[in-house]
Structure 1
């Protein structure tokens, strides 16, 4: 059976609010089995909401250095000792509020560094989602230094509303990877048909095309941010896409990263 994994980068809203968390909480009342990668600051701000997700979902660690008092929000620019300190401080916060053993990790902004694996190993963490994929590579879970690396099938550097229908240049290096449920790197073979659906902001044909393009993959990972749910159009697309996957459980198993 094919496997689909839904991951969420759970962060505070722009400005430090928790409205996105409340929206995610509503979504998790209907669908479960997500992998929720949560920043320590988010956990401290809304411990009761996060704790209510533990039983039915996987809780993982998501680090943005600036939230931990570092000057720059780029994980990969720091030394081994500084990166290790981020892990240690974060996991200590998680242990104060949650019962879950934290075994999965994703750095903010996908700022992968080779130190991640040995640090994870020291803290007995086993599953990383630290690398965004390139078309045709790293698209299925694979082992690296006793850590299983999981790359997303879909990703975008900006919310859908900033990408669709506007003449906005994509950030260099992310041209082929877009977020739920906008596009998929393998969908390029649909060419004009897909581009027309995207540019005309069409929901259901887009979901259908995206799903058909993924039908040959044994493993699919989808990801979005909790604050994306504050944009009604993006929220509707996310819900429609998850609903599509949920209706197809006879051919696609919805799974957590570590299962």
Structure 2
């Protein structure tokens, strides 16, 4: 999830702004800017659906004890990550054909101009709606439902365990199982909760724009759309920060990655 979010920052922030503020570079070649247009929604969808996968994983681990043994394994996690990533990039391929070149110089097409049939074609209209449903409307609903079911299960289980402990006159100061569940709930709600909060303005702007077109309501101000877009981008930075703060193994592996360049430099100096 942290790697997927980092790819969003690279494509949707760095590459997009490089194209905007550094005109007439290799990024303005039609093939390149079309590829960037594919990477932006693909990386975003990958990040969104990995958040959904994580939410479902926590739901199974907490609420479905029989399924947990077979589902919550490293092999399943790898399969889910690879599948979600591949489908995210495959689904975004049609965006590559959205543009045409503005002109050709030295047999090389330059700049990306939206094709005229993009606004009238039934395919593009249908695909645009389908893409928006997949990211982020459907994930938004799935995360809300799974979190509600998870909280309900934990609340019922907690009441039952407290009742059993009371009946057995247990004097144990803490319950290790409930402490474990509490930590899982905190991590779950920190990640999926930040996703819901930061994506809500973007979803609201998107739905209002569609309703405004249908019923001829006044459009939103550009500032509202910009704020929603910035908060949506901010959501791609939160998972890495959350893992860094809460997960000991993630911090240890991050330290190893940071030390690799310095280790290589130190070894090269020793060889010299």
Query: TM-score category by the smaller chain?
Result: under 0.3
Which one has more relative contact order, counting CA pairs under 8 Å at least 6 apart?
1
Under a length normalisation based on structure 1, what TM-score does the superposition of the two structures give?
Answer: 0.27
Whose strand proportion is higher, 1 or 2? Answer: 1
Whose helix proportion is higher, 1 or 2? Answer: 2
Under a length normalisation based on structure 2, what TM-score does the superposition of the two structures give?
Answer: 0.26
Greater gyration radius: 2
